[in-house]
Amino acid sequence: MTDPIIEAGTPVRPRISGSVSAPANTAGTSLIIERLGLVDYMPTWKQMRETTLARTADEPDQLWLLQHTPVYTLGLAARAAHLPRTANQIPVVKSDRGGQITYHGPGQIIVYTLVDLRRLGIGVRQLVRLLEQSVIDLLKQYKVAARGSEQAPGVYVSDAKIAALGLRIRNGCSYHGLSLNVDMDLAPFADIDPCGYPGLGVSQLRDLGIDEDINTLGEKLLASLQANLWGQQPMETR
């Protein structure tokens, strides 16, 4: 028996609060950074989808830094065989991102990337590589060697996955983004085939000896994303 699957439109108590916007300029491009804290998946997904569908060509890109309450999310490529194997009371949500199944929970950094690919002059494959590189560059600061994968996008340390990617492109703009395991309960991954791969190991920064505060790591990841996507370190203005 598995937990019930929640579809888009199912009423869920919203928990988006504490949003703080901080404008930044990189290479002359306006960028909005949202730091949302710990939030539920469904209202956050709805908000980023609506933001993407409503945005115009001159609106700034956005990065949303957050953590999620426990949830499994199914990508468009997910199959019934990927559902959790036990009833662990963690909700399962059918999402519109690419990929298969993954788990989100407290202690994991999420960055949603609401980016106009046409304005940056890149395609979705290049965006995936840049997101991977941003995590790789962050881990390099802690002398951890990591790699991406063209066959199974994400970031790996040895053979264990430490960061997952999933995107949706609408009207040339992306939403969803990446997750980086920092200091979390990894047990829910054991009930699934992470990203659809049976036996795939999952790691986190704490197990690699990195005990940096998750908020500090989140800010460093934002800086790495800005360096890779827009070519400069962030220059925040108020």
Going from the C-alpha of 190 to that of each of 6, 107, 182, 201, 214, the distances in angstroms are 21, 17, 17, 9, 23
Across 39-53, 97-111, 165-179, 188-202, least confident range = 188-202
pLDDT bracket for residue 186 (50, 70, 90): very high
Nearest to 34 by CA among 14, 62, 55, 56: 62
Q: Name the catalytic one among 195, 205, 222, 225.
A: 195
195 classed as catalytic = yes
Whether 14 has a pLDDT exceeding 50, the answer reads: no
Across 102-106, 199-203, 221-225, least confident range = 199-203
- Cβ neighbours, 10 Å, residue 170: 12
Whether 212 has a pLDDT exceeding 90, the answer reads: yes
Whether 22 has a pLDDT exceeding 60, the answer reads: no
Domain ranges of the chain: 17-230
Burial class for 176, CB neighbours closer than 10 Å (0-12, 13-18, 19+) = buried
- Using CA atoms, how far apart are residues 210 and 154, in angstroms rounded to an integer? 19
42-98: pLDDT as tens digits: 999 999 999 999 999 999 999 999 999 999 999 888 777 778 888 888 999 999 998
Q: Is residue 109 a contact partner of residue 215, using CB atoms and an 8 Å limit?
A: no
Q: How many CA atoms lie within 13 A of 84 on its CB side?
A: 23
- Using CA atoms, how far apart are residues 181 and 133, in angstroms rounded to an integer? 16
For residue 202, give both structure tokens: 């999952």
pTM listed for this prediction: 0.86
CATH class of 17-230: alpha beta
